[in-house]
Amino acid sequence: MLTRSFLVALFGGLTVVAAHPLAERDQASLKPSSPVSNVKGLSFNRFVDIWLENVDFTTAAMDPSLSKLAEKGLLLNNYWAITHPSEPNYCASAGGDDFGMDNDEVNKVPANVSTIADLFDTKKIAWGEYMEGMPSTGFQEEKYPETGADNYVRKHNPLVLFNSVVDDKKRLSQIKNFDSFYDDLHNQKLPQYMFITPNMTNDGHDTDITFAGSWTNKFLSDLMENEYFMKDTLVLLTFDESGNYTNVNRVYSFLVGGALPDHLKGKKDDTFYTHYSVIASLSANWGLPSLGRWDCGANLLSFLAEKTGYVNWDVDTSNAYLNETHPGPLSVGEYSEYTPIWPAPLTSDDIKCSAGNGILDIVKETWKDTKPTYNYTAPLPYDSKSGNNVGIKYSRTLANGDVEHGETQ
C-alpha cells in the first residue's frame, strides 16, 4: 500500500515514488534549503518568533536584560501560553491546537492535520525554523546529544511534530540548525516567517532567567542594528509557558522591529493574546486563511486589528489560568475515559475567523464530513465536556456601538 511518506514529491503532476520511506540515511544527507519570498503584508513583511522557557510573567519582568529590550518595543502585557508542559505549546503555535497533549513525549500529529506551513504555501511565503544544537537538517530524534546535558530537544521544535511536514523532504529541509540562521542572514536569504529555538542552556530551561535574558540581549542587540534583518520585520520574544504550574500561564512577551509602529515603542499593550493570536495575526497580515482551529477566534495584534477593522475581544481573565489541557488523542494523563478522536476543525464557508479569510481549502476538503469538535470561534481554548477553561467571560464593542458578550461554557 502506498502511504503518504512514499509519495515524497510531486513534479508538475508527475508522482515520484521513492523506494523507501525517509530513512535515517536520507535525513543525515538532507541539505538545508533557504527559499525566499517577498509577499507584502499589511503590518510586516517578516515575522520572527523566538521562545524562551518556563518563567512566570512577573519573574521575567524583573530581568533587566529583557525589560531593557522591551522598552525599545511594545510590551504585550496580557499574552498567555495555553497549557503545560512545553511541547503542547510549541505544537499549538504551528497547528492551532494541542490535541490534548499533556506531556513532552515523541508525539506525532497525523498528516491530515494542517499547519502554518500549509497557510504559507497558499501564497508561497517562505518559512524556516532555526534550532540551536540540532545536529542535522530535518533531524527527527527526541534529543541531541543522547546523553549528557541536552542541547537540542524535539519537544521544542514546532513543525517537526507534524507528519504533514516531516513526510515532505522540501519542508523538512527548512528545519535547520542555528548556523543556517547566520548563513541566511549573511546571504540575505532569510525567510518571511521563522521560528527560533535557542538551545536548552540559552533558552533558560537548564539555566535561569538571568542567563536567558542575557542570551536574548546578545542575540538581538546586533540584529537590531542590521538593516536587512530589521526592515519591515516584527520580532516576538515570548515564553512557551509560565514557570509555576499553579500560577496563571501569562508569559512575558514583547515585540520589537522595524515594522512596529513608532508610536507604540516603549508602550504596553493590554490586549488579551495567546500563542494562537500569532497564527491569526500571520493570517490577517498576509491575507491567509485559518486552520479552522483555535487560531480562528484568537485576537489579532492590536495595530493589525486596527488596519483590518477586526474588533478584538476583551477577555475577563480573573478566573483564567490556562494551565491545563483538555482531553484529546495525545493525552496520556487522567483523561482515559474520553474517546481520543482527532479533533475536527471548522469547515463551514459561513465561519468568520478573526483574520477574515475563511478556512484553508485542504482543511475544508479533508474534514468536510465531520462536525467541529470545539467552539473554535472563541478567543481562547476551552472544552465544555471536561470543563477545561470554562466560565471565562468576554465582550467587545463593535464599531456601530453594539456590545457583544460571550462566555466559555
Binding-site ranges for ligand NAG (CB under 6 A) = 54-56, 59, 110, 112, 132-133, 149, 151, 199-202, 243-246, 297, 321, 323-324, 342, 366-367, 370, 375, 377-378, 406
Long-range contacts formed by 178-185: CB under 8 A, 24+ apart: 178/130, 178/131, 178/132, 178/133, 178/134, 180/32, 180/34, 180/128, 180/130, 180/137, 181/130, 183/32, 183/34, 184/34, 184/128, 185/223, 185/226, 185/228, 185/229
Query: Within 13 Å of residue 208, how many CA atoms lie on the same side as its CB?
Result: 4
| Closest separation in Å from C-beta 19 to ligand NAG | 24
> Catalytic: which of 26, 121, 183, 206?
206
Distances (CA, A) of 82 to 155, 236, 283, 326, 380: 16, 17, 19, 10, 8
| Closest separation in Å from C-beta 255 to ligand NAG | 22
Grid cell in block for residue 72:
525599545
| Closest separation in Å from C-beta 176 to ligand NAG | 16
| Closest separation in Å from C-beta 42 to ligand NAG | 23
| Closest separation in Å from C-beta 48 to ligand NAG | 18
Of 162, 232, 171, 193, the closest CA to residue 49 belongs to: 193
Which DSSP state fits 298? P
Q: Which CB sits closer to ligand NAG, 74 or 344?
A: 344
| Closest separation in Å from C-beta 247 to ligand NAG | 6
Residue 203 designated active-site: no
Q: Which CB sits closer to ligand NAG, 12 or 148?
A: 148
Q: Which CB sits closer to ligand NAG, 193 or 376?
A: 376
Distances (CA, A) of 38 to 35, 232, 278, 341, 374: 11, 11, 20, 39, 35
Q: For residue 237, report the phi and psi dihedrals to the nearest 5 degrees.
A: -105, 125
Grid cell in block for residue 155:
519537544
By Cβ distance, which residue is nearest to ligand NAG? 243
Q: Which CB sits closer to ligand NAG, 37 or 375?
A: 375
| Closest separation in Å from C-beta 305 to ligand NAG | 16
Q: Which CB sits closer to ligand NAG, 236 or 298?
A: 298
Distances (CA, A) of 80 to 275, 306, 379: 7, 21, 12
Query: Within 13 Å of residue 309, how many CA atoms lie on the same side as its CB?
Result: 3
Distances (CA, A) of 14 to 11, 17, 67, 148: 5, 9, 53, 46
Q: Which CB sits closer to ligand NAG, 71 or 206?
A: 206
| Closest separation in Å from C-beta 206 to ligand NAG | 7
If you write DSSP's letter for every residue of 326-361 in order, what string do you get? Answer: ---TT--SS-TTS--PPPP----TT---TTSS-B-H
Q: Which CB sits closer to ligand NAG, 41 or 372?
A: 372
Of 84, 121, 117, 118, the closest CA to residue 103 belongs to: 84
Grid cell in block for residue 191:
525567510
Radius of gyration over every alpha carbon of the chain, rounded to an integer in angstroms: 20
| Residue 36: strand, helix, or coil | coil
Q: For residue 345, report the phi and psi dihedrals to the nearest 5 degrees.
A: -80, 175
Q: Do 373 and 296 meet the contact criterion of CB atoms below 8 Å apart?
A: no
Q: Which CB sits closer to ligand NAG, 80 or 367?
A: 367
Q: Which residues are catalytic?
A: 206
